[in-house]
Structure 1
Amino acid sequence: MPDTIRITTIRLSQPIGELYIGRVPAKALIDLAEADIRRITDREMEIMSGIQRGLSQSRVPQIRKYIETVDASFPNSIILNLDSKFISSRPEVIPNNCGDDGLYCFEIATDKNAFKIIDGQHRLSGFDGAKIDDFDLLIAFFIDLPLEDQAYLFSTINVNQTKVNKSLVYDLFEVSESRSPQRTAHLITKALNTDEDSPFYRRIKLLGVAPKFGDEVLYKAPLSQGTVAQRIVDTISSDPMSDRDTIRRGNQIALSDADVQKGLIFRKFFSEEKDWAILRIMKNYFRAVADAFPDLWEKQDNPLSKTIGYGALMRLLVDAFAEGSKNNDLSFDYFSNLLAKVRENSEKDAEMPLTFESFPAAGSGESKLYGKLKEWAELA
């Protein structure tokens, strides 16, 4: 690395003060910036210093994996504070013909202390060790911004963030032309909700909200699109982002003899582009559930028809699939016989009725229900 780096910027004026917008290669920025982690700096008085949360060691590898995908992008800026003592000379102003005051070219000493990260430490940390070549990052930096203002910016940016609805995330895969586990799961979920022969017909809240026409609620649905789609993804891939990237690069996703044992019961169908087979099996299985427990399925006021029931039933499907595959039978009749056994044994189990008292909607309710369903199904 050279002793200095030149960064061409534009200047912005905002109520908090002036800031500069520029472009820096990710690998160069790693050597120029660090996070000021909030920590105890005095053992006796427990005096705290710094503004950043600690680095999440689980999140960084996920970001690194994303960075290495074929269509990775970080279009939003890393927000920084530049310590003016690392500016080698007065910023050079480059005139332009756009009617503003030109571009500002900074020459900054290459030093880990030059910039303090206000927002974006996890994104930047993801580049450390990433297998990439060129990846420019957009940066927005202040110069000698008081620590109080840095802390205010960090807290405001992060406290006011709203987590994106998972149902919307899955729904947006419909506009993608690239094949992926997420897109397949979305299309199957949508078909389950819209096909009149489906046991899930009008039981799924697309976009995660009750469907309305004006102020009229068209139907009440016990499950969200995100919940249904995520469970389907879990039966296709343990790393959907990598699988999508593999397909985008024109390669075949890897299959293993142990996929079914790992719960990836639909992975082979997905790799062979037989999404119709996944949909058919889902319909066969859940139609058998609906026929075995018609009252519970219809009333929607019990664990079986709610989110914990769907989760438990999807886990049971993994076991049922493995058993049925031994005889190459995943028909409706196979699932119907299995669920009839579940119903018969559940009716004998007076101590564990299918109520929320037995299987609470929160906490361990799903695992408890799955355990009972598996026991009633007499599956090893």
Structure 2
Amino acid sequence: MKEVLIEVVKNVQKNQTIFIGYLSKEQARQLTFSDHFPPQEGRIGYQRPADMKRARAFAKYVSEKPTGFVTPILLNARDDCSFIPHNDSGYGRLQLPVKSCLSIIDGQHRVLGLMDSQYTNLPIPFMLFQNLDLDAEQELFITINREQKKVNMSHVWFNDRKNDELSQLVVKLESEIGSPWYQKVNLNGVRGAKRAVSLDSLRGSLIELFQSGEIKALSFNQKYEIATGYWKIVSEVWPDAWQVTKNSLIKKTMGTLALSKLGGFLVVECLNRKTKELDLVKLKNLLSRASHINWMSNGEFNGISGRKGADVVKNKLDEIIFSKVEAT
């Protein structure tokens, strides 16, 4: 039988032999497989079938992004493999049969994307267990996928703010003395920050506040002045709810999103077309029509949350503000 030789580094963890190295695209085609559903002879079918669209998207990302690196995949050698050391060291060659003998525990989309890729010929780094028990292999897969957590999006936006105008606006709102959001925003998503709203949440609210094409076309500084002016008036119309740090919904995700959805219409209504500045007096007159609203957690919006809740609150504010406008 033909054999494949792969340069590796050998190590041992908890009495389990492990090899670290790289596979070429051709070697990956020859040797790897995913034990996916439905089960086949000698396999238990613990993984989902691969999504080739996702696999190709990964390969395209790696080929186009300067920071797009291929991280190591996790494999298990289900057939016997021989290690041929170089000079009695941990460095050597792994001798494998030319057949599907390496089970992909983690990283099947990375492997499939790179094998199929028209974009790149990057080698595929791996960490390989030797004859890991099948139950242990499955448990390792479950643990990896159950315990992994996504990076907090506020952290992502904060670190990438140089490429994102909205994130820059949020950071400026949080850091500028005189801003209604000064020191009230959790910029990096850290737990226990005791800030009213996260960067990701306020960023999403700014999307709604700037929803008009007319506002989107303004400069960074003009948008900042509009955001500052709008939230300053909000803080003046509902001062008690704005100032307290507990039991107020106005600075929670639901409240900021609802008021931003409302503000997306109001800032256009109150914009001076010549100066591109807000008419703050007009804006305050409009918002003051709903000044009786109780934003505390035991008020009108008790139990309302999330994006759907924000729509409910925004519609309620619409009804109060615009019905009174028509009546006048």
- Normalised TM-score (structure 2): 0.76
How far did residue 72 of structure 1 move? 3.9
Q: Aligned pair in 2 of structure 1 residues 370, 56: CA closer, same or farther (>3 Å)?
A: farther
How many residues are aligned here?
317
**SS of alignment partner, residue 303 of structure 1:** coil
From 248, 262, 277, the equivalent of 1:331 is: 277
Q: Aligned pair in 2 of structure 1 residues 107, 328: CA closer, same or farther (>3 Å)?
A: farther
**SS of alignment partner, residue 180 of structure 2:** coil
Residue in structure 1 matched with residue 326 of structure 2 by the alignment: none
Residue in structure 2 matched with residue 144 of structure 1 by the alignment: 131
Residue in structure 1 matched with residue 151 of structure 2 by the alignment: 164
Give the whole-Å Cα distance in 1 for the aligned partners of 2:134 and 2:236: 64
How far did residue 80 of structure 1 move? 1.0
| AA in 2 matched with 1:316 | L
Q: Aligned pair in 2 of structure 1 residues 313, 150: CA closer, same or farther (>3 Å)?
A: same
Q: Aligned pair in 2 of structure 1 residues 298, 102: CA closer, same or farther (>3 Å)?
A: closer
Residue in structure 2 matched with residue 306 of structure 1 by the alignment: 252
User: What are the equivalent positions in structure 2 for 1:228-377 lying under 5 Å apart?
Assistant: 228-232=202-206, 260=212, 266=216, 268=217, 274-300=219-245, 301-320=247-266, 327=273, 330-333=276-279, 336-345=281-290, 347=292, 355-357=300-302, 360-362=304-306, 364-377=308-321
From 62, 65, 72, the equivalent of 1:70 is: 65
| AA in 1 matched with 2:16 | G
How far did residue 139 of structure 1 move? 0.7
| AA in 2 matched with 1:193 | E
Residue in structure 1 matched with residue 184 of structure 2 by the alignment: 203
How far did residue 52 of structure 1 move? 2.2
Partner deviation per Cα, 1:64-110 (whole Å, 9 max, x = no partner): 5533432243453100123427x6xx554444xxx83432243552x
**SS of alignment partner, residue 104 of structure 1:** strand
How far did residue 344 of structure 1 move? 0.7
Q: Aligned pair in 2 of structure 1 residues 327, 372: CA closer, same or farther (>3 Å)?
A: farther
Give the whole-Å Cα distance in 1 for the aligned partners of 2:283 and 2:139: 59
Q: Aligned pair in 2 of structure 1 residues 340, 38: CA closer, same or farther (>3 Å)?
A: farther
| AA in 2 matched with 1:188 | L
Give the whole-Å Cα distance in 2 for the aligned partners of 1:339 and 1:27: 67
| AA in 2 matched with 1:198 | S
| AA in 1 matched with 2:261 | R
From 221, 230, 233, the equivalent of 2:195 is: 221
Gaps of 5+ in 2: 324-328
From 170, 174, 179, the equivalent of 1:189 is: 170
| AA in 1 matched with 2:163 | S
Gaps of 5+ in 1: 42-47, 213-219, 237-258
Give the whole-Å Cα distance in 2 for the aligned partners of 1:134 and 1:167: 34
How far did residue 198 of structure 1 move? 0.4
**SS of alignment partner, residue 49 of structure 1:** coil
How far did residue 117 of structure 1 move? 1.1
| AA in 2 matched with 1:159 | R
How far did residue 294 of structure 1 move? 2.2
Contact 2:31 2:102 in 1 (8 A): yes
Residue in structure 1 matched with residue 91 of structure 2 by the alignment: 102
How far did residue 39 of structure 1 move? 4.6
Identity %: 22
Contact 1:339 1:377 in 2 (8 A): no
